[in-house]
């Protein structure tokens, strides 16, 4: 296994990010393109892995570094540590996936007490040389020697105050010399050793520090959160330094080939004169815009724009570029595909198509469902929003306004008064559940995307921000403070779970223009909008329509009534995948179902059922009218009957009170008796679904009758209803056979009465492992399978969602047992495997069987790709997620096409 561990920038290319890291691969690519990159070399991720394994730098690596360094020195005619003409280098981390702020960079390596004089002489700029030296000691101290960075920063501050100066670049040479002395003393005091004067020692320790930074706690945490594998390692890039801190004809900047925030075309960036490295992003001085740079250095500005154009057309995407100007000469230090907001992603993708840089298929791969979801949430009106008082980790999206409350009890009291509240906690635990349910939003000062607060909030669809670390939460005294602002109970707060921003006061939220477009069409939505919004709406429209052309999976919606169906259809649903009939028995109708349940004779029962029939029929007529021409799956009653009866403890209290007062209330006693009979210790696994249908004579027949009559009526009215009846919770083919036969008899009867054909499909949910495994026996009896992946997840794992999310999921995330909740993204290996098996076995016995998913996974991007790949026919999700599913279904087929072509 003899492979090289070091490559010069002239050798690699952008395809080698596995080996050279993203930064290294792109430096090599730019070098190849003839873009002015300071020369250098990259130590591979393989070398890092080997180092992390052996805890020492392999000998071959030391040799290769020596050779590469020699080449570099020859190329630019300077030597590391030379007292007259020293070479200085930067030592930079760079993993395959960018991990911003996670790992380290050390600049100006190679300076010591001798070479600083050489640098001063050679550049004729002693102030600059001492500035570079103090920066090296500072960065080296912090990064390599792990000294608290604020110790250095404080000394610099002290110095500036004593000299009455505001900015770093105003500090004169003599003071910088003093500062170097002070910094060296700090190093000696903190570590017991002198700042190393040997450049190679500086270099080697810096390389080791970069390797080690792969395994810092925060880097590990970041990777877990971003799902980046732990075993990739980081490359190290060593490059000749160029200096933006040589005076006002020098500077450093960051630019984007398009605006990464809005997606507006045209370059965008910041520039800082007389500065080095991170100065530009650290906010120490106000930066200039690119236009300002155009005024100061027109030639540099033109050259930069040429390079931007070259990079963007080469990478065929928006690029993010770091550059430095050294005495009127431009150097490019880094590029990568730029991160962008959701709206920028859509706009840029469409622009690149129009500029003939990418195809529509590629454009579709440049956006995703997550981004579309972001665009569909209401947003705070940025123009009118105040500055955020702090930021946290955006844990559950949405824009929410409410009153601050600091404990669950108070939360419930506020909510009972009908007030919207935001629950603020240091972190949450299962005891806070009541408070979380009572709030519209949750804000914590600790924890990340997988903390208890985050997991539960997402499960409940509530806005949440976690880990707002600047905020101090005083739960005892019901207050919080952040950046000098106090928040008391009852104060209005606005939180944006999409950006992580927290605002004081009630900020106006504006409804999403994209939702408006989906509901009312493009003409309506673009009326009276600003140009930016119009461009965004058009981009979304184009990409969604293209996705519809490409997708193989149909997208249906879960909708229980006519109104939801109407919205779902506007959002592009191609049918209803799940209409739950439960709600049809609630509200005013509860008494009717009570009568069914409590009926003492067949007669009583039938009359009670007969009263329900017209109501059910009316519901179905409304739903089927809305969905005219599109398949509509109606599920027969699923939950346990006692859910329709009053609460058992309420009844017990009533009965006891009656007894005390010697009152006889037969109704209460009868109800209590029935409820007690039906009481189950584990209702999720009890008498529900098809079991209920089998033991409650007439119930399913009633529903089937109502469906068939509704269908008949619509056909007579000239409509085209397409009905599918779904039997829930089947575990044995016999359950389905018996239920199906009964249903067919009812349908047949109604068809004959109306002298019509009623071609109703009858199928089943697959939501029990046994159903999946025996699907070759169930398949012949079913016209379709619909995977109820929520219940299938619960029954496969053997846990109930409500209990686990609050109780132990966050711990499971910490332990790495889950990286994502199996209720959010389908567990491919377990639950997904059951789906795959059922699809395969079902189809093998019944080639006409059609297959869909009606659990919430049907709206989850990753799960949709999985369902596409195993060849299902459709996914069904809540109306709001239909556009997201449409987009992801299209992306899944293209991603597949791509895979197919690369295989060949
Ligand atoms: P990050 O990955 O955090 O962006 P970088 O490795 O890009 O870190 O470097 C940090 C800063 O140092 C950047 O502003 C970069 O432009 C600057 N820098 C890196 N190498 C050099 C160099 N050879 N000459 C001048 N500045 C450099
Ligand atoms: Mg960088
Ligand atoms: Mg179910």
Atom of ligand 1 nearest to the CA of 40: 23
Gap between the Cα atoms of 866 and 853, Å rounded: 11
Residue nearest to atom 27 of ligand 1 (CA): 277
Which of 322, 325, 331 best tests ligand 1's pocket when mutated (most atoms within 8 Å of CB)?
322
Q: Name the residue with tokens 């430096």.
A: 27
- Do 336 and 23 contact (CB within 8 A), yes or no? yes
If you measure from the C-alpha of residue 241 to the centroid of ligand 1, how many angstroms do you get, rounded to a whole number?
A: 9
Tell me which residues are annotated as active site: 452, 854
Percent helix / strand / coil, the chain, rounded to 5:
50, 15, 30
684's tokens: 């999720």
- What is the model's pLDDT at position 1? 47
Average pLDDT of the residues in 465-471: 92
Ligand 1 close to Cβ of residue 98 (< 6 A)? no
Atom of ligand 1 nearest to the CA of 92: 6
Which ligand is closest in space to the CA of residue 97?
A: 1
Ligand 1 close to Cβ of residue 105 (< 6 A)? yes
Exposure pattern of 661-679 as b/e (b: 16+ CB <10 Å)? eeeeeeebeebbebbeebe
If you measure from the C-alpha of residue 115 to the centroid of ligand 2, how many angstroms do you get, rounded to a whole number?
A: 26
Residue nearest to atom 20 of ligand 1 (CA): 90
49's tokens: 């892995």
pLDDT at 199 over 60: yes
Segment holding 633, helix H or strand E: strand 631-635
Q: Which of 93-97, 428-432, 575-579 has the highest mean pLDDT?
A: 575-579
- What is the model's pLDDT at position 647? 84
- What is the model's pLDDT at position 452? 86
pLDDT single digits (tens) 439-467 = 999 999 988 887 888 888 887 889 999 99
Pick the closest to residue 742 from 779, 696, 710, 784 (CA basis).
Answer: 696
Region for 164 from its dihedrals, namely left if φ exceeds 0, alpha if ψ lies in -120 to 50, beta otherwise = left
- What is the model's pLDDT at position 599? 84
pLDDT at 2 over 70: no
* Residue with the larger pLDDT of the pair 682 and 722: 722
- DSSP for 491-544 reads -EEEEETTTTEEEES-PPEE--HHHHHHHHHHHHHHTT--HHHHHHHHHHHHHH
Average pLDDT of the residues in 151-177: 92
- What is the model's pLDDT at position 903? 39
**Range in 621-630, 658-667, 778-787 the model is least confident about:** 658-667
pLDDT > 70: what percent of the chain?
Answer: 98
Ligand 1 close to Cβ of residue 241 (< 6 A)? yes
695's tokens: 């033991």
Ligand 1 close to Cβ of residue 39 (< 6 A)? no
**Range in 262-271, 295-304, 582-591 the model is least confident about:** 582-591
pTM, full prediction: 0.88
Pick the closest to residue 191 from 228, 260, 144 (CA basis).
Answer: 144
Determine the longest span between alpha carbons in the chain, in angstroms.
108
What's the DSSP call for residue 195?
P
Gap between the Cα atoms of 878 and 579, Å rounded: 11
* Residue with the larger pLDDT of the pair 792 and 585: 792
Q: Name the residue with tokens 């700042």.
A: 195
- What is the model's pLDDT at position 107? 94
Ligand 1 close to Cβ of residue 38 (< 6 A)? yes
If you measure from the C-alpha of residue 729 to the centroid of ligand 3, how many angstroms do you get, rounded to a whole number?
A: 6
pLDDT at 864 over 80: yes
Gap between the Cα atoms of 32 and 13, Å rounded: 8
- What is the model's pLDDT at position 378? 87
**Range in 43-52, 435-444, 554-563, 597-606 the model is least confident about:** 597-606
Average pLDDT of the residues in 256-277: 92
Atom of ligand 1 nearest to the CA of 93: 6
Q: Which of 376-380, 582-586, 634-638 has the highest mean pLDDT?
A: 634-638
Which ligand is closest in space to the CA of residue 640?
A: 3
User: What counts of helices (H) and strands (E) characterise the chain?
Assistant: 36, 33
Ligand 1 close to Cβ of residue 139 (< 6 A)? no
- What is the model's pLDDT at position 283? 63
Gap between the Cα atoms of 29 and 9, Å rounded: 8
Gap between the Cα atoms of 93 and 96, Å rounded: 10
Q: Decide: residue 59, CB within 10 A, 0-12 exposed, 13-18 middle, 19+ buried.
A: exposed
Ligand 1 close to Cβ of residue 281 (< 6 A)? no
- What is the model's pLDDT at position 592? 84
Tell me the sheet residues that pair with 329: 326
- What is the model's pLDDT at position 385? 78
Pick the closest to residue 453 from 463, 466, 441 (CA basis).
Answer: 466
Indicate the pLDDT class of residue 682, thresholds 50, 70 and 90: confident
Spacing of C-alpha 157 from chain mean position: 39
Q: Name the residue with tokens 């561990």.
A: 5
Ligand 1 close to Cβ of residue 110 (< 6 A)? no
pLDDT single digits (tens) 551-577 = 999 999 999 999 999 999 999 999 999
**Range in 139-143, 427-431, 479-483, 502-506 the model is least confident about:** 427-431
Atom of ligand 1 nearest to the CA of 38: 23
Specify the pairing of strand 288-289 against strand 265-273: antiparallel
- DSSP for 846-869 reads -TT-EEEE-SGGGG-HHHHHHHHH
- Do 792 and 767 contact (CB within 8 A), yes or no? yes
Ligand 1 close to Cβ of residue 336 (< 6 A)? no
If you measure from the C-alpha of residue 108 to the centroid of ligand 1, how many angstroms do you get, rounded to a whole number?
A: 11
739's tokens: 């239920």
User: Apex CA 816: angle with CA 812 and CA 820, to 5°?
Assistant: 75
Q: Name the residue with tokens 């690596």.
A: 61
Ligand 1 close to Cβ of residue 616 (< 6 A)? no
Three-class SS of 274-339: CCCCCHHHHCCCCCEEHHHHHHHCHHHHHHHHHHHHHHHHHHCCCEEEEEEEECCEEEEEEEEECC
If you measure from the C-alpha of residue 482 to the centroid of ligand 2, how many angstroms do you get, rounded to a whole number?
A: 30
710's tokens: 């509704």
Average pLDDT of the residues in 25-48: 98
Average pLDDT of the chain is: 92
Q: Decide: residue 25, CB within 10 A, 0-12 exposed, 13-18 middle, 19+ buried.
A: buried
- What is the model's pLDDT at position 899? 62
Residue nearest to atom 15 of ligand 1 (CA): 277
**Could you count the other beta carbons within 10 Å of the beta carbon of residue 601?**
8
- Do 683 and 640 contact (CB within 8 A), yes or no? yes
Q: Name the residue with tokens 């949405």.
A: 398
**Which residue stretches of 627-687 are H helix?**
648-660, 666-678
pLDDT at 902 over 60: no
Gap between the Cα atoms of 635 and 726, Å rounded: 4
Q: Going by C-beta distance under 8 Å and a sequence separation of 6 or more, which residues neighbour residue 176?
A: 127, 130, 131, 133, 134
Pick the closest to residue 728 from 763, 701, 775 (CA basis).
Answer: 763
Gap between the Cα atoms of 304 and 268, Å rounded: 12
pLDDT at 282 over 70: no
Which ligand is closest in space to the CA of residue 281?
A: 1
- What is the model's pLDDT at position 86? 94
- Do 314 and 358 contact (CB within 8 A), yes or no? no
Average pLDDT of the residues in 577-587: 87
End-to-end CA distance of the chain: give it in Å, rounded: 29
Tell me the sheet residues that pair with 442: 423, 464
pLDDT at 284 over 70: no
If you measure from the C-alpha of residue 42 to the centroid of ligand 2, how many angstroms do you get, rounded to a whole number?
A: 15
Q: Going by C-beta distance under 8 Å and a sequence separation of 6 or more, which residues neighbour residue 559?
A: 565, 567, 568, 573, 576, 578, 579, 623, 879
What's the DSSP call for residue 67?
H
Q: Name the residues around ion ligand 2, CB cutoff 5 A.
A: 334
Average pLDDT of the residues in 806-819: 85
If you measure from the C-alpha of residue 573 to the centroid of ligand 3, how many angstroms do you get, rounded to a whole number?
A: 21
């Amino acid at each position: 296994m003899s492979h090289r561990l070091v490559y010069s920038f002239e050798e690699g290319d952008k395809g080698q990010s596995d080996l050279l890291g993203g930064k290294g691969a792109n430096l090599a690519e730019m070098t190849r393109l003839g873009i002015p990159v300071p020369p250098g070399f990259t130590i591979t991720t393989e070398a890092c892995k080997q180092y992390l394994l052996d805890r020492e730098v392999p000998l071959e690596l030391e040799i290769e570094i020596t050779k590469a360094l020699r080449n570099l020195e020859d190329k630019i005619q300077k030597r590391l540590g030379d007292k007259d003409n020293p070479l200085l280098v930067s030592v930079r981390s760079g993993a395959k996936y960018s991990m911003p702020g996670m790992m380290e960079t050390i600049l100006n390596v190679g300076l010591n007490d001798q070479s600083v004089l050489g640098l001063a002489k050679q550049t004729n700029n002693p102030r600059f040389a001492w500035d570079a030296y103090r920066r090296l000691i500072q960065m080296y101290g912090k990064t390599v020697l792990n000294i608290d960075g604020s110790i250095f920063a404080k000394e610099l501050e002290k110095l500036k105050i004593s000299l009455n100066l505001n900015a770093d670049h105003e500090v004169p040479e003599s003071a910088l010399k003093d500062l170097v002395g002070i910094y060296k003393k700090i190093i000696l005091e903190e570590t017991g050793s002198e700042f190393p004067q040997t450049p190679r020692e500086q270099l080697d320790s810096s390389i080791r520090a970069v390797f080690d930074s792969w395994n810092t706690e925060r880097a590990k945490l970041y990777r877990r959160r971003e799902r980046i594998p732990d075993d990739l390692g980081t490359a190290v890039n060593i490059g000749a330094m160029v200096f933006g801190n040589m005076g006002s004809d020098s500077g450093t900047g960051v630019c984007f080939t398009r605006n990464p925030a809005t997606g507006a075309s045209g370059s965008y960036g910041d520039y800082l004169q007389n500065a080095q490295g991170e100065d530009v992003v650290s906010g120490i001085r106000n930066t200039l815009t690119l236009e300002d740079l155009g005024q100061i250095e027109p030639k540099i500005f033109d050259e930069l724009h040429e390079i931007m154009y070259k990079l963007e057309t080469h990478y065929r995407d928006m690029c993010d570029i770091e550059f430095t100007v050294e005495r009127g000469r431009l150097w490019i230090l880094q590029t990568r595909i730029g991160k962008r907001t959701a709206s920028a992603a859509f706009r840029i993708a469409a622009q690149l198509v129009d500029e003939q840089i990418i195809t529509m298929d590629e454009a579709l791969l440049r956006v995703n469902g997550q981004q579309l979801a972001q665009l569909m949430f209401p947003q705070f009106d940025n123009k009118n929003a105040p500055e955020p008082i702090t930021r946290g980790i955006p844990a559950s999206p949405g824009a929410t306004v409410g009153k601050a409350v600091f404990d669950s009890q108070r939360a419930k009291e506020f909510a009972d008064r009908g007030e919207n509240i935001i629950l603020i906690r240091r972190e949450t635990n299962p005891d806070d559940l009541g408070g979380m349910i009572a709030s519209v939003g949750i804000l914590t000062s600790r924890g990340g995307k997988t903390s208890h607060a985050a997991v539960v909030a997402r499960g409940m669809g509530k806005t949440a921000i976690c880990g707002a670390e600047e905020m101090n939460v005083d739960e005892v005294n019901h207050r919080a403070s952040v950046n000098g602002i106090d928040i008391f109970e009852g104060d209005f707060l606005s939180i944006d779970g999409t950006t992580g921003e927290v605002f004081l006061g009630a900020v106006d939220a504006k409804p999403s223009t994209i939702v408006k477009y989906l509901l009312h069409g493009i003409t309506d939505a673009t009326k009276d909008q600003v140009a930016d919004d119009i461009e965004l709406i058009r981009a979304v429209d184009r990409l969604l329509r293209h996705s519809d052309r490409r997708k193989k999976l149909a997208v249906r919606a879960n909708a229980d009534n006519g109104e939801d169906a109407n919205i779902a259809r506007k959002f592009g649903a191609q049918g209803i995948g799940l209409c739950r009939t439960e709600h049809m028995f609630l509200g005013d109708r509860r008494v009717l179902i009570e009568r069914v349940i409590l009926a003492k004779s067949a007669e009583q029962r039938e009359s009670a059922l007969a009263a329900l029939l017209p109501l059910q029929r009316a519901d179905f007529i409304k739903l089927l009218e809305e969905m005219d021409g599109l398949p509509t799956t109606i599920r027969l009653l699923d939950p346990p009957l006692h859910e329709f009866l009053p609460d058992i403890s309420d009844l017990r209290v009533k009965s006891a009170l009656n007894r005390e007062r010697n009152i006889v209330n037969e109704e209460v006693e009868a109800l209590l008796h029935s409820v007690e009979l039906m009481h189950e210790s584990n209702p999720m696994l009890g008498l529900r679904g098809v079991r209920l249908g089998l033991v409650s004579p007439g119930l399913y027949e009633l529903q089937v009758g109502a469906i068939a009559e509704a269908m008949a009526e619509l056909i007579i009215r000239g409509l085209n209803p397409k009905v599918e009846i779904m039997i829930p919770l089947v575990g044995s083919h016999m359950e389905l056979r018996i239920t199906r036969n009964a249903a067919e008899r009812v349908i047949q009867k109604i068809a004959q009465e109306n002298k019509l054909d009623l071609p109703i499909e009858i199928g089943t949910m697959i939501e029990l492992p046994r159903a999946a495994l025996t699907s070759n026996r169930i398949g012949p009896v079913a016209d379709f399978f619909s995977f109820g992946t929520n219940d299938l997840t619960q029954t496969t794992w053997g846990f109930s969602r409500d209990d686990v999310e609050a109780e132990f999921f966050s711990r499971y995330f910490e332990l790495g047992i889950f990286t994502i909740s199996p209720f959010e993204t389908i567990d491919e290996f377990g639950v997904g495997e059951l789906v795959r098996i059922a699809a395969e076995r079902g189809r093998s016995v019944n080639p006409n069987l059609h297959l869909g998913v009606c659990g919430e996974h049907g709206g989850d991007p990753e799960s949709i790709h999985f369902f596409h790949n195993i060849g299902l026919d459709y996914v069904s999700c809540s109306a709001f997620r239909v556009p997201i599913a449409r987009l992801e279904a299209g992306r899944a087929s293209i991603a597949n096409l791509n895979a197919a072509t690369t295989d060949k």
